[in-house]
């Protein structure tokens, strides 16, 4: 086992270096050797994909390594993060080297010879790598073609697809990190929250919470932990979200009403928080007698139209939600004095509007 | 450049040079294929351009990079233009061949600034192809990177999700948190079919291709691109994709040229493989999906029309006849499997034939006790004769039309010949007529009557020999009148009599002992030898189909077939 782990570590180092300017010292022999190691690891992946013990040991090692790299700063990009990555480690290496301008001419020449030996190669391994790279290039062109010609004016649908893909990737990573250590997912999520543009991240979180089950079904091989229950990744995510009151508030404030209704109808705790926020927001509005409308005191207050839209969306959700929303509104209305006339309590007005709208 | 090497080169690759100019012109016009016209033109030329790239690579791979530049000074331009056309990069193996070409430009040890520049230019292009079209949506790149994913990890899922989202849009029920229901515009479907042209063979696209083929729009005119149909059909015929039967049917119904190409492809396969056994034809036939697709009458009628032309063009070649018969067996089988109660009336398949005749012809002999086979035969014969000889039935077409219909179910004629030898007493007039008609549909009634008389007398002589335990080849020859030096009977009549004699050999108790001798005497020419092989193969095939119990006859037929094949291949000039 030890030689194998050493090998793994050495290759991880190679992979880390492959993105840096250190490759300028590489000669053709170094390139060839790096790919020999990669091929060896691919062989390991094939051979042990059904051996749970060896897989577990290797995965643990990879996770630890990733954790160390993750701690070293946000700019670091991990190399091998899970057992499956071993199956395409040569692809990973080739991508990094191809994109690295520091690689010298002779080394680059031998890299391209290594990756694209041409037609009718006797070496099956090289043929596979050449095929995978060509397939990747083809898929990239396909994505490009679809993005620019497939969606026409329908950019929303295009965005949905991008968000959904990111959501799947997020869940997968959360799952892996969760296996390595208990507080892993929450640590990862917090660091992502600090690093990434919030609006995109919030949308991804919402989409991930709505994904029905394991994003990547186990392929031919026996996936460790493939027995995850539907929504398990979602549970880790919601747990983190509910623990961060400021993030939850931003989440509920910035995402569209329909999307929040969908998420809320899947997660009762989030629904309660959302409902609480909605009532808080409502309380901040006062009635402008001259204009005859409810307005906020400050610019960041939620406008009446939006508030109404969010309540309306919740009322259109399946039964328990609608009932609870109406009960909450009724009790707020009672607290305010149970008026039936417009302009005195926002809850009366909301209930009237919802009643006539329904 | 030395003159001699130049002339040598132009001799070698003169074609390549003029192609080079042509494609350089095309690529310049296409640009990044961002307009409808350039996309359309690119799509039309994808296979040809790939072939050119391949030739280009073959030429480049034997040169070093400086020779390449010397001989093709603008090669960098040509390859760069190629790299920027997403349709070409998405097509089949073009991206791979392009990379091979670029590889030939890289100089291992650049000596001067020009070579250094070329190297870095080439590296730029390679990295463009392999990591091209980075998603220009910043967030996605940043997000995946922060999670530690490389493009190889997420491009497949991204593509899968894109295909899924387009699929659900096509199904007109795209519903999710962000959006409410909407309907996809015809122009988008059209554009989508255009994008799919280079991608139909990419497995990720199979569901989308299926969905497009089966998508029913609300427009009266076709909204999918003809190039899309061409590409799908081509990929299907070359077995580069697998599509459901319903998708194929939709393809052929929506795009007739594709159906015609599928038929021609089948014909090509049939003629390119050496002399086919019916089993072999059946395999190719079923593989083509044509019999199943023909359950849709519109497809059946076009397929049938092409068979009719093939028959006319080849003057009724036995191979074409056999193919039509096999097609009909498979078609009827598919029809039965598809719908227990007929979805379409039989009349829609055979609009010009008498419905009652079709009903009888379609009866599966297997479902009728063997002893009663003469009844449907008699029925068929009478109906055909009435249509052919009676002028009042002109609406069912002339004798050719009736015969063309009958040859679809040619098994009945073979059963008639068998029945004539098995029935005791006077041979039934109806069966004699059916045989004479099937062998020579264009004869007038007088000539046909002559044939019938001749066949009847031969039959009479054969029947006398049928129960004899031992026979001699000589007396059989005399019985069928073959021994006469100057046989004045028309060739078709002689062919018919040969068929009766062969049946006799298979069924008569004394046939086994003399069969090979008789056949050797009979098979004086290649044509007759092939005719006998065809008869034996067809008979065995029919017996299998009808599950006939005839162990002795079966064994004999198989042995004769093997021996004849050995004989043919030993005299075939190609095998010497």
pLDDT digits (tens, 9 = 90+) for B322-346: 999 999 999 998 988 887 666 677 7
> Residue B515 above 70 pLDDT?
yes
Determine, for residues A166 and B143 on separate chains, whether the beta-carbon distance falls below 8 Å.
yes
Are B214 and B107 in the same domain? no
| Side-chain-side CA neighbours of residue B27 (13 Å) | 26
Residue A1 lies in a domain: yes
pLDDT of residue A213: 58
Are A92 and A23 in the same domain? yes
Residue B430 lies in a domain: no
Give the closest-approach CA distance of A147 to chain B in angstroms: 9
Mean pLDDT over A19-44 rounds to: 92
Within B131-179, residue ranges assigned H as helices are 138-146, 151-170
Are A108 and A57 in the same domain? yes
Mean pLDDT over B72-99 rounds to: 93
Contact A25, A45 (CB under 8 A): no
Radius of gyration of chain A (CA): 27
Maximum CA extent, chain A = 86
pLDDT of residue B549: 82
Residue B383 lies in a domain: no
Are B157 and B37 in the same domain? no
pLDDT of residue B338: 80
> Residue B285 above 70 pLDDT?
yes
Q: How confident is the prediction for chain B on average, in pLDDT?
A: 85
How far, CA to CA in Å, does B506 sit from each of B278, B543, B544, B555? 19, 12, 15, 9
How far, CA to CA in Å, does A334 sit from each of A280, B277, B384, B436? 16, 90, 93, 102
Are A209 and A280 in the same domain? no
Are A192 and A87 in the same domain? no
- The domain total for chain A is 3
Give tens-digit pLDDT for B352-398: 888 888 888 887 777 777 778 888 899 999 999 888 887 666 666 77
- The domain total for chain B is 3
Burial of A147 from C-beta contacts in 10 A (0-12 / 13-18 / 19+): buried
Give tens-digit pLDDT for B198-234: 999 999 999 999 999 988 777 778 889 999 999 999 9
Are B490 and B521 in the same domain? yes
Share of chain A above pLDDT 90, in %: 31
Which residue from A227, A212, A226 is spatially nearest to A168, judged by alpha carbons? Answer: A212
Contact A77, A86 (CB under 8 A): no
Question: Residue A109 is encoded by which pair of tokens?
Answer: 């020449």
Out of A77, A145, A206, the one facing B195 most closely (by C-beta) is A145
Give the closest-approach CA distance of A115 to chain B in angstroms: 10
Give tens-digit pLDDT for B67-84: 888 888 999 999 999 999
Out of B109, B161, B198, the one facing A165 most closely (by C-beta) is B161
Radius of gyration of chain B (CA): 33
Which of B65, B163, B165, B198 is most worth mutating to test chain A (most A CB atoms within 10 A of its CB)? B165
Are A286 and A348 in the same domain? yes
> Residue A73 above 50 pLDDT?
no
Are B20 and B137 in the same domain? yes
Residue B419 lies in a domain: no
The enclosing domain of A343 has a CATH number of 1.25.40.490
Which residue from A151, A155, A158 is spatially nearest to B185, judged by alpha carbons? Answer: A151
Q: How far apart are CA B93 and CA B111, in angstroms?
A: 33
Determine, for residues B154 and A130 on separate chains, whether the beta-carbon distance falls below 8 Å.
no
Are B499 and B545 in the same domain? yes
Question: Does B365 lie at the interface with A, CB-CB under 8 angstroms?
Answer: no
Determine, for residues A137 and B162 on separate chains, whether the beta-carbon distance falls below 8 Å.
no
Which residue from A218, A233, A172 is spatially nearest to A50, judged by alpha carbons? Answer: A218
Are B128 and B192 in the same domain? no
Residue A225 lies in a domain: no
Contact partners, residue A209, CB within 8 Å, separation at least 6 = A234, A237, A238, A263, A266, A267
Are B115 and B227 in the same domain? no
Are A296 and A326 in the same domain? yes
Residue A247 lies in a domain: yes
**Structural domain for A273, as ranges:** 257-357
Determine, for residues A116 and B100 on separate chains, whether the beta-carbon distance falls below 8 Å.
yes
Are A275 and A202 in the same domain? no
Are A10 and A56 in the same domain? yes
Residue B527 lies in a domain: yes
Are A280 and A349 in the same domain? yes
Residue A49 lies in a domain: yes
Residues of B in contact with A200 (CB under 8 A): 139-140, 143
Residue B393 lies in a domain: no
Residue B501 lies in a domain: yes
Residues of B in contact with A150 (CB under 8 A): 162, 166, 191-192, 195
Residue finishing a domain among B221, B254, B287: B254
Out of A92, A196, A210, the one facing B150 most closely (by C-beta) is A92
Instruction: Name the least confident of A115-124, A257-266, B34-43.
Output: A115-124
Question: Does B188 lie at the interface with A, CB-CB under 8 angstroms?
Answer: yes
Question: Does B10 lie at the interface with A, CB-CB under 8 angstroms?
Answer: no
**Structural domain for B518, as ranges:** 460-571
Give tens-digit pLDDT for B529-564: 989 999 999 999 999 988 888 888 999 999 999 999
Are B24 and B121 in the same domain? yes
> Residue A343 above 90 pLDDT?
no
Most confident of A41-55, B281-295, B543-557: B281-295
Mean pLDDT over B26-51 rounds to: 93
Are B20 and B139 in the same domain? yes
More reliable by pLDDT, B299 or B340: B299
Determine, for residues A134 and B93 on separate chains, whether the beta-carbon distance falls below 8 Å.
yes
Are A21 and A101 in the same domain? yes
Q: Which of residues 100-159 of A touch B (CB under 8 A)?
A: 101, 105-106, 108-109, 112-113, 116, 118-119, 130, 132-134, 136-152, 154, 156-159
Determine, for residues B142 and A197 on separate chains, whether the beta-carbon distance falls below 8 Å.
yes
Share of chain B above pLDDT 90, in %: 39
Contact B232, B251 (CB under 8 A): yes
> Residue A252 above 90 pLDDT?
yes
> Residue A222 above 50 pLDDT?
no
Residue B262 lies in a domain: no
Residue finishing a domain among B213, B237, B254: B254
Residue A221 lies in a domain: no
Residue B325 lies in a domain: no
Residue A127 lies in a domain: no
The answer to whether the Cα torsion of B227, B230, B236, B240 is positive or negative is negative
Instruction: Name the least confident of A331-335, B31-35, B95-99, B481-485.
Output: B481-485
Are A273 and A308 in the same domain? yes
Are A240 and A268 in the same domain? no
């Amino acid at each position: 086992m030890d030689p194998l782990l050493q090998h793994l570590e050495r290759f991880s180092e190679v992979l880390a270096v492959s993105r840096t300017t250190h490759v300028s010292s590489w000669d053709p022999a170094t390139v060839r050797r790096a790919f020999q190691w990669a091929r060896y690891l691919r062989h390991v992946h094939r051979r042990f994909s059904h051996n749970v013990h060896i897989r577990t040991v290797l995965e643990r090692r990879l996770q630890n390594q990733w954790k160390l790299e993750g701690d070293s700063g946000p700019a670091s990009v991990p190399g091998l993060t899970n057992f499956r990555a071993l199956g395409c480690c040569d692809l990973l290496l080739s991508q990094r080297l191809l994109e690295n301008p520091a690689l010298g001419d002779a080394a680059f020449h031998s890299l391209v010879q290594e990756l694209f030996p041409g037609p009718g190669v006797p070496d099956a391994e090289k043929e596979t790598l050449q095929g995978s790279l060509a397939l990747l290039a083809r898929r990239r062109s396909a994505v490009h073609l679809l993005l620019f010609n497939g969606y026409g004016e329908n950019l929303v649908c295009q965005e949905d697809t991008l968000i959904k893909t990111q959501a799947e990737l997020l869940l997968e990573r959360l799952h892996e990190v969760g296996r390595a250590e208990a507080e892993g997912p929450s640590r990862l999520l917090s660091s992502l929250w600090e690093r990434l543009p919030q609006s995109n991240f919030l949308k991804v979180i919402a989409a991930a919470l709505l994904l029905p089950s394991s994003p990547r079904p186990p392929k031919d091989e026996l996936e460790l932990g493939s027995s995850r229950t539907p929504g398990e990744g979602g549970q880790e995510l919601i747990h983190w979200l509910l623990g961060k009151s400021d993030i939850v508030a931003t989440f509920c404030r910035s995402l569209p009403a329909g999307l929040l209704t969908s998420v809320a109808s899947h997660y009762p705790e989030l629904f309660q928080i959302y409902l609480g926020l909605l009532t808080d927001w409502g309380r901040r509005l006062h009635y402008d007698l001259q204009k005859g409308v409810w307005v906020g005191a400050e610019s960041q207050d939620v406008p009446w139209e939006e508030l109404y839209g969010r309540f309306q969306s919740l009322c259109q959700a399946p039964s328990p939600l609608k009932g609870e929303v109406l009960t909450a509104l009724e009790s707020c209305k009672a607290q305010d004095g149970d008026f039936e006339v417009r302009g005195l309590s926002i809850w009366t007005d909301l209930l009237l509007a919802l009643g006539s709208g329904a | 450049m030395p003159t001699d090497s130049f002339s040598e080169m132009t001799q070698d690759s003169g074609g390549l040079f003029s192609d080079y100019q042509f494609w350089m012109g095309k690529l310049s016009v296409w640009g990044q294929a961002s307009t409808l016209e350039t996309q359309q033109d690119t799509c039309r030329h994808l296979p040809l351009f790939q072939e050119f790239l391949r030739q280009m690579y073959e030429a480049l791979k034997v040169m070093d990079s400086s020779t390449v530049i010397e001989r093709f000074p603008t090669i960098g331009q040509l390859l760069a233009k190629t790299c920027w056309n997403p349709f070409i990069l998405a097509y089949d193996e073009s991206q791979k061949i392009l990379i091979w070409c670029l590889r030939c430009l890289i100089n291992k040890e650049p000596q001067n600034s020009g070579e250094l520049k070329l190297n870095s230019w080439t590296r730029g292009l390679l990295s463009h192809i392999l990591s091209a079209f980075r998603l220009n949506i910043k967030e996605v790149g940043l997000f995946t990177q922060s999670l530690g994913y490389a493009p190889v990890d997420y491009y497949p899922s991204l593509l899968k999700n894109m295909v899924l989202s387009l699929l659900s849009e096509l199904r007109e029920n795209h519903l999710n948190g962000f959006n409410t229901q909407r309907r996809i515009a015809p122009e988008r479907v059209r554009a989508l079919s255009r994008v799919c042209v280079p991608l139909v063979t990419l497995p990720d696209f199979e569901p989308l291709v299926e969905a497009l083929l089966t998508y029913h729009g609300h427009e009266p005119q076709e909204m999918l691109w003809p190039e899309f149909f061409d590409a799908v059909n081509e990929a299907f015929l070359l077995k580069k994709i697998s599509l459901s039967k319903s998708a194929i049917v939709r393809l052929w119904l929506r795009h007739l040229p594709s159906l015609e190409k599928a038929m021609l492809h089948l014909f090509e396969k049939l003629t390119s493989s050496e002399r086919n056994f019916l089993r072999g034809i059946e395999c190719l036939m079923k593989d083509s999906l044509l019999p199943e697709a023909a359950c849709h009458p519109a497809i059946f009628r076009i397929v049938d029309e092409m068979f009719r032309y093939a028959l006319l063009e080849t003057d009724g070649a036995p191979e074409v006849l056999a193919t039509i018969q096999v097609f009909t067996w498979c078609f009827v089988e598919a029809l039965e499997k598809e719908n227990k109660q007929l979805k379409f009336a039989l009349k829609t398949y055979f609009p010009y034939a008498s419905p009652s005749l079709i009903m009888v012809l379609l009866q599966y002999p297997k479902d009728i006790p063997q002893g009663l086979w003469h009844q449907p035969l008699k029925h068929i014969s009478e109906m055909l004769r009435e249509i052919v000889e009676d002028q009042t039935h002109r609406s069912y077409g002339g004798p050719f039309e009736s015969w063309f219909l009958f040859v679809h179910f040619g098994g009945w004629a073979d059963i008639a010949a068998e029945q004539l030898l098995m029935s005791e007493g006077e041979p039934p007039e109806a069966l004699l007529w059916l045989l004479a008609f099937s062998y020579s549909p264009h004869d007038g009634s007088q000539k046909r009557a002559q044939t019938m008389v001749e066949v009847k007398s031969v039959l009479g002589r054969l029947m006398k020999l049928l129960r004899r335990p031992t026979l001699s080849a000589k007396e059989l020859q005399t019985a069928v009148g073959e021994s006469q030096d100057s046989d004045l009977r028309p060739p078709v009549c002689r062919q018919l009599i040969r068929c009766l004699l062969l049946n006799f050999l298979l069924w008569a108790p004394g046939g086994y002992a003399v069969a090979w001798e008789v056949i050797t005497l009979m098979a004086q020419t290649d044509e007759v030898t092939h005719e006998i092989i065809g008869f034996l193969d067809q008979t065995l095939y029919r017996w299998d189909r009808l599950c006939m119990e005839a162990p002795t006859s079966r064994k004999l037929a198989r042995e004769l077939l093997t021996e004849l094949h050995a004989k043919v291949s030993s005299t075939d000039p190609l095998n010497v």
